[in-house]
Amino acid sequence: MIPDEGLVILNPRALALSPGALGGVGLLVYSGSSANTAATFSAQGITYNVNNRMLYNMINLNPTFSLQNYETVSSRYFFTRVKNADFNYTSNPTIIDSNGNLLYTQMIFNPQTYITTVGLYNNTGDLLAVAKLNKPLVKDFTKELLVRVKLDF
């Protein structure tokens, strides 16, 4: 089930199983070509697919019809330590003019950056995940940060 999209994906072979512990409903699924007239019928000028109509009637006429869905979400926490001497300078190239001089002199004597994103890499240097922070964290030589990243998969 994908409730946000209003979509239900059904397995016709599972539905054809007899009712019981395996969750079947005993639906006899017509597997012929949809172009075959036996696969469709018309009522009040509307053409229906036999399988779709049978399933609709089964849900609509059965007051005990229910669906079961589950999803396993695994979580893992990663802690990233940013030492006071690390990440105090920006990597943004727009702070340097065409001659290679800093446009903002405060970055010389009192650099201050804002951490907005944390990247998680594997041992070979491949980026595996990116975490965006709720709000930028101010970083300078006087601060050390510990960022907790929760990865759901």
At 48-75, the pLDDT tens digits run 667 677 777 777 887 776 766 677 889 9
Cα–Cα distance measured from residue 56 to residue 104, given in angstroms and rounded to the nearest whole number = 68
pLDDT bracket for residue 121 (50, 70, 90): very high
Residue 37 has pLDDT above 50, yes or no: no
Cα–Cα distance measured from residue 71 to residue 69, given in angstroms and rounded to the nearest whole number = 7
Lowest mean pLDDT among 32-41, 51-60, 122-131: 32-41
